[in-house]
Amino acid sequence: MSRKQHIAIFTTASLPWMTGTAVNPLFRAAYLAKNGDREVTLVIPWLSLKDQELVYPNKITFDSPSEHEGYVRQWLEERTDFISSFRINFYPGKFSIEMRSILPVGDITESIPDEEADIAVLEEPEHLTWYHHGKKWKTKFWRVIGVVHTNYLEYVKRERNGLIAFFVKYASSWVTRIYCHKVIRLSGATQNFPRSIICNVHGVNPKFLDVGKVKLGQLQKGEQAFTKGAYYIGKMVWNKGYRELLQLLSKHQDKLSGLQVDLYGNGEDSEEVQQAANKLSLPVRVYPGRDHADPLFHDYKVFLNPSTTDVVCTTTAEALAMGKIVICANHPSNEFFKQFPNCHIYNSSDEFVKLTVKALAEDPAPLIDDLRHELSWEAATERFVAAAELNQVVSEEVPPSSSNPFASTSFKSRKLSVEEATASLHQTISGIESARRAFGAIPKSLQPDEQQCKELGLVIPERKGSSRR
């Protein structure tokens, strides 16, 4: 009897934080496990209460990992038409206010038993390995696949700190080289990585495709499918496209007279965005963020997205799935969307105006079945399996003396390579508290604290100077 392939998907965020690294890995796990051919585990960060209060919206908090898991599963089941068979494990994490990110604490490879360590998928591999200290990923897992979600280099460049940009670029390249066998870049908007390919392996929530089918039916019947004009939704920070959009609207207020734009989002720059919008003569209304699947958005016809910091913008894909017209910049992050007739690309601010006015005056083009499939998670999973070369792994019977039946004896016996030496160097540096802090790690994050250990049922690490009895 052949053994099922085990896939562990590690990611850097979790619901109810509505960010791409929380949502997309969750759908990936569900669809990889859908047909039952593989054993899939989604590994997500567990935050203690004080960090949950900083990260999760609407005062949502969890007293235990099991309560958190129940929330995640319910959210997923409300959006798919099948029951997912994958497992959910947790690793200890802490929220960095400076980086606005969750960072792993301790050796998160321990979240997966050695006998199940076949394939690791690192969603944001650089983020997960910058400060990694513990078992080497390539030693623990037979194959490690990185999926690059975030254009960190672009964010750093916008802060105008050349030294940090230099460090981020080369540190990210270094850790992905030593810890990943292959890297999948969602688009050419990211920096180049060793052993990487470009492939969009993301899909959209099936509910968005259902909305698109309803809208198509209305248009085919001659009904008015869209009763609202233009909008934008995204985390309300300047780097997420709000600066570019408000500058475009400000520059061309005369040509866009009569246009009303609604902005939806939560974020650190909400008040500043509101103040900038109030200065325009155009009616630009600012609202708190909501789930893009909310019926409130169904009747908007035009989605404006000038952002150039995304790798592949999830909300653009969702808008296209709902049958809307999308106006976006000619940028590598939008390359995948150019195949869709309703994606209108602009190269200049004047072209932005022309395309926006034109979109408001016409109906969207019908979304044919083949293109609708391209937006689905079924198609995204097919692309991921091919890009990660998962089908090249041949299942074998489980040898009773081997913890990893996919590992070869040649792998175990090969001589120390330059890559292994640099991995050992990284392990050494990442194990020194002063060096970790110098490079931006959260203080005392080499091991989970006592509270996290109790919450996750982990062995509480001994303090220096203590002795076992």
- Kindly write down the DSSP assignment for every residue of 40-80, as one continuous string: EEEEEEE--HHHHHHHSGGG---SSHHHHHHHHHHHHHTT-
Under 8 Å between Cβ of 5 and 38: yes
Query: Does 418 score more than 50 pLDDT?
Result: yes
pLDDT, residue 212, reads 97
Please, is 102 exposed, middle or buried when counting C-beta atoms within 10 Å of its C-beta (0-12, 13-18, 19+)?
buried
Q: Measuring CA to CA, how many Å separate 321 from each of 107, 302, 329, 374, 419?
A: 39, 13, 19, 10, 43
Please tell me the least confidently modeled range out of 287-291, 379-383, 395-399, 464-468: 395-399
What is the Cα–Cα distance from 318 to 177, expressed in whole angstroms? 33
| Model pTM above 0.85 | yes
Tokens representing 428 are: 């050494």
* Complete DSSP assignment for 102-156: EEE-S-GGGGS-GGG-SEEEEESHHHHHTT--SS-HHHH-SEEEEEE---HHHHH
Mean pLDDT of the chain: 89
pLDDT digits (tens, 9 = 90+) for 271-302: 999 999 999 999 999 999 988 999 999 999 99
Neighbours of 106 (CB within 10 A): 22
Q: Can you tell me whether residue 469 is helix, strand or coil?
A: coil
pLDDT (0 to 100) of residue 39? 96
* pLDDT higher than 90, residue 357: yes
Please tell me the predicted confidence (pLDDT) of residue 18.
Answer: 85
| Residues 6+ away with beta carbon under 8 Å from 389 | 182
Look at residue 407 and tell me whether its pLDDT is greater than 70.
no
Using the predicted structure, report yes or no on whether residue 403 has a pLDDT greater than 80. Answer: no
Could you give the dihedral angle defined by the CA atoms of residues 145, 149, 153 and 159, in that order, rounded to the nearest 10 degrees?
A: -150
Tens of pLDDT, residue by residue over 222-251, are 999 999 999 999 989 898 899 999 999 999
* CA 465 to chain CA mean position, Å: 41
- State residue 158's pLDDT score: 61
Distance in angstroms (rounded) separating the CA atoms of residues 419 and 180: 11
Q: Is the confidence at residue 160, as pLDDT, over 70?
A: no
Task: Provide the b/e sequence for 370-402 (b: ≥16 CB within 10 Å).
Answer: ebbebbbbebbbebbeebbebeeeeeeeeeeee
Q: What number of other Cβ atoms are within 10 A of residue 279's Cβ?
A: 9
Task: List b or e across 215-239, with b for residues whose CB sees 16 or more CB atoms inside 10 angstroms.
Answer: bbeebeeeeebbeebbbbbbbbbbb
Average pLDDT over residues 364-384: 96
